[in-house]
A and B are shown apart, each in its own frame.
Chain A
Amino acid sequence: MMLRPQKTIVIVLLIILFLGLVCLYSSCHQKGAFIKKEIFTKQLMWVGVGLLFMFLASRFDYRKIRPAIIPLYIFAFLSLFFVLAMGRTIMGAQRWIDLGEISFQPSELGKFALILLLAKYYSSRGIYDVSGAFPRAAILRALVIPLFLTLLLTGLVLVQPDLGTAIVYLFVFLSVAYLADISGRYLFGLIGMGIVFMPFFWHFLKDYQKSRLLVFLNPNIDPLGAGYTVIQSKIAIGSGRFFGKGWMAGTQSQLNFLAERHTDFIFSVIGEEWGFLGSLALLVLYGFLIFMILKVSDVAKDTFGRLFCVGVAALLFFHAFINIAMNVGVSPVVGLPLPFISYGGSSLVINLVAIGIVLNIARQK
């Protein structure tokens, strides 16, 4: 079966966006009343804006972005810095910068900037040249410098605190580095070190993050506190059974048992109302999208384009994977949206722009 990636990506994406809006519409209801109408209309607007930007990005030659990457990275870095100093605090985390009517989440921009930076870095000449006079510098060039650039952003995100995004940054880095053919020894060494130092990082976590991790291990230690969301979302998803309770008919979501059900926990609404069938369909759609993006990476005409696609695929994959896993209760709760479905303008628009660039890469193969 030969599918043309460009077309498939657009179709699958539109289906996901449409399903997302349908679910969001349902989750904005409570007891039959459309209580969060403005959230739905805003998201509708963001989808429109995002699709426009995607279209524009797909028409713009991606190679012309290269000179803008370092300034973009610096901008992302500064805005992450800025958000810590000045940003709006929502639920204990400083993640947003107010821009008049709308607010903007620099960590989303950070993901985009990081992917571009890593793609650019690993596609520049000389990275793989380990035969030179300084073989010892190989590890520096192949691993330490890009890792340092990644950790700069990761660290800032981590102190917001936003554990989920920080993890995604690391996964994106590992994915890009792996597919940039960095020596396996370096990568395994890095992962090994990470595991060894894991207990050490425990002390850097906020109390609520610790409790989330503990609750993941046993949700019943705090059924009305940190465990509540997980227990209720698991009940919601499970209660959908095979065919689901039907659109707008989920008792868990419609009766407000689910917290955060239009953002991080929107998947539990899908699971409850659409059942296993709907959940599986969504997984298949994500799988299609991601594998099509990886297919584009295979046919990209340069390394930059190839690695950019890898970064985008990794970004989408880990968002979807971790988000669904935490909804089902098989991963700890970290604040990550479900790509293209969770409410949130920054993430949606930036993801769509990234897809636009992927489309452009596909066009130019």
Chain B
Amino acid sequence: MRTGTYRIILFSLFIALALALFFVQVVRGNYYYKLSMRNSIRLIPQEAYRGRILDRNNNVMVDNMLSFDAVIIPQELKDKKAVFQRLSGILSTDVDSLYRTYDKGYLNPFTPVALAVGISKPTAITLQEASLDLGGAQVELNARRFYPFGSCASHVLGYMGEIDKSRITKLKDYGYDIKDKVGYSGLEEGLDIYLRGEKGGQQVEVDNRGRQVRVLGYKPPYSGKDVHVTIDLELQQIADQLLDGKKGAIVIMDAQNGEILVLASSPGFDPNVFVDRKDKKSLNFYLSSQDAPLFNRVTSGQFPPGSVFKPITALAAYRSKKFKPSLTYVCTGKLRIGERYFKCWSEHGQQDFNQAMGHSCDVYFYRLGLTAGADMMSKTALELGLASATGIDLPQEAQGFIPSRIWKRLKFLDRWYDGDTANFAIGQGFVLATPLQLARMMAAIGNGGFFVVPHLSKAIDGVPLPVKELKKIKIPDESLELVRNALRFPVALEDGTAHDLDIKGWEVCAKTGTAQVYGAESHGMVAGFFPKDNARYAFCILLDNVGSSHMAVAMGKQLFQEAQRRGKLL
């Protein structure tokens, strides 16, 4: 009796054990199999060579430089103390900071830890000679991102940095990995996917302490693609020099196809500082300065366009069919609208349309605005691409803003007054636009109503990017021609607001503007195109807190004269 029971007990225990084994090995087998593979297989990445960035004339704007790095391969390190002592002598760094760098950079026994990057050639040679008897220390040749022109076009180029958490969650599926270097802002970010190439590496089998046992496979890295951009380096340098020490932005765009020739924003930054991150002072300044050196004013800065908006008011008035260009108004320096007087910046007397444009007479445009009505102005502004991103191939583009009556009702629970229309008509109040949007608007007026997409990338890996077919805007041609002619007056008139831009033979058309800034001096700006008929280029120049547009116009003059002297542009 008991012998039977005893056998049943033992037998059931064995069955239970067999079930446990079945569960672990068969049911969950694949799970544990994967774990065991992960246990024993590691990747030693080999960085890919990042693509270069070249301007439209094949000047290299971003390059890779070979850099000598002093590295330690942990698994080959035998006498740690002695090696670090020697290294401290060769690299003339104190031992403690070397230890700190080592501890911070340690990943696993076979991945080299860089103790010093970009060491000089003589130091590299000394170290290489010493490395024979210094087990574990070596000189490694690595490609290092190099920006030969420093802060020139820094906002176009962007900079490199280690991938952050938000980017890695977004980009994991595209092969991005922790500790990867990725582009931040500018084309380094916008075109990262082309520039970065594909990491290669060795797959190695490791033991329980992570030491390499054997190489299982090797995948060569694939270099990133070189990118040609539309920037004209020479012009860009002129623009950057003009802006040096000031706050502002310059953009010059091909009005026929949207290619950006110059995109300058000041203050800028030197992307080289982000490569080795040694210059802590500059880094701190870039990241915390009130003037926001990393901020791209051309694409991300939003300002009230001021009088630069007036061409839109004119177009809207013309479309309302209540307006004839022969119409004259007398400017007495102010206009009563409702219960308030709206001022003009001067007393212009009798003005026709072209004169009013040339003198930027506010009173005339208040009246035009009231003639056109807010709805037509909103509509026209939207059709000219305000309040929508231009689609430039740079990250973090701002959209700007165009108000409308419905918006005001929903936002402020208030009706739209004629005073709002008047403010709208001269580009103040709620309107916001980026310099790039204003340049595009000018391009559309100048080229006969074609809507260009501003862009910087011209060719990738030598293959030209397809040219997008231009969309014609819905604004009638004759109205555009009218405004085009009128925009010649600010430059052509002796007392025109942008007369300084009257470059011989260029037939520049432009409109100045001041953007009122709450609690500070106004921003001055000028935007336009040239030549008048079938414009080739559109531009926008903005200077922060200079009170009036005069400085911006003066800067435009210097820029165009220098360009003309060098045979650039026209």
Contacts and interface: CB of A to CB of B under 8 A. Distances in A.
Interface of A: 30-31, 175, 178-179, 181, 232, 234-242, 251-252, 255-257, 271-272, 275-276, 279-280, 283, 286-287, 290-291, 294, 297-298, 310, 313, 317, 321, 324-325, 328-330
Contacts of A232: 39, 208
Contact of B31 (A31, A238, A321): A238
Contact of A297 (B3, B35, B36): B3
B14 to A, nearest CB: 5
Contacts of B37: 239, 251
B215 interface: no
Contacts of A328: 17, 20-21, 24
B207 A237 contact: no
Nearest to B29: A241
B58 interface: no
B21 A241 contact: no
A236 to B, nearest CB: 7
A279 B25 CA distance: 9
Contacts of A298: 3
Contacts of B2: 178-179, 181
A283 B10 contact: no
Given A179-B2, A291-B10, A297-B3, 16 more contacts: A30-B207, A234-B24, A235-B39, A237-B21, A237-B25, A238-B24, A251-B40, A255-B206, A255-B208, A256-B207, A271-B25, A276-B29, A287-B14, A290-B10, A321-B13, A328-B21
Contacts of A238: 24-25, 28-29, 31-33, 35-36
Interface in B27-48: 28-33, 35-37, 39-40
B25 A276 contact: yes
Contact of B29 (A239, A255, A313): A239
A262 B267 CA distance: 69
Interface size, B (range): 20 to 34
B35 A239 contact: yes
A291 B6 CA distance: 11
A313 B209 CA distance: 41
A294 B14 CA distance: 15
Contact of A255 (B18, B31, B32, B207): B207
Nearest to A280: B18
A291 B10 CA distance: 9
A257 B208 contact: yes
A255 B205 contact: yes
Interface string B160-198: 000000000000000000000000000000000000000
Contact of B17 (A179, A255, A310, A325): A325
Contact of A321 (B7, B14, B26, B29): B14
Interface of A is mostly: helix
Contacts of A287: 11, 14
B22 interface: yes
Contacts of A239: 29, 32-33, 35-37
Contacts of A283: 14, 17-18, 21
B36 A235 contact: yes
Contacts of B36: 235-236, 238-239, 251-252, 257, 272
B70 to A, nearest CB: 30
Contacts of B3: 179, 294, 297-298
Given A236-B36, A238-B28, A238-B29, A31 B21 contact: no
B570 interface: no
B176 to A, nearest CB: 28
A255 B212 CA distance: 10
**Which of the listed residues B10, B14, B25, B39 has the most CB atoms from chain A within 10 Å of its own CB?**
B25
B213 interface: yes
Nearest to A279: B21
Contact of A271 (B7, B21, B205): B21
Contacts of A241: 25-26, 29-30, 32-33
A290 B7 CA distance: 10
A238 B205 CA distance: 20
A127 to B, nearest CB: 16
Contacts of B29: 238-242, 276
A321 B208 contact: no
A329 B20 CA distance: 9
Nearest to B27: A238
A276 B26 contact: yes
B10 A317 contact: yes
Given A294-B3, A294-B7, A328-B24, A237 B32 contact: yes
A29 to B, nearest CB: 12
Contacts of A240: 25, 29
B18 to A, nearest CB: 6
Nearest to A271: B25
B207 A31 contact: yes
Given A31-B213, A255-B208, A287-B11, A235 B35 contact: yes
Most buried by A among B7, B21, B28: B21
Closest 9 CB pairs of A and B: A238-B32, A241-B29, A239-B36, A276-B25, A239-B33, A255-B207, A251-B40, A239-B32, A256-B208
Nearest to B19: A330
Contacts of A330: 17, 20
A272 to B, nearest CB: 8
A325 B18 CA distance: 10
B208 A280 contact: no
Nearest to A244: B25
Interface string B203-220: 001111100011000000
21 contacts: A181-B2, A237-B32, A238-B25, A238-B29, A239-B33, A239-B36, A241-B29, A241-B30, A251-B39, A251-B40, A257-B39, A271-B24, A276-B21, A276-B26, A298-B3, A317-B10, A321-B17, A324-B21, A328-B21, A328-B24, A329-B24
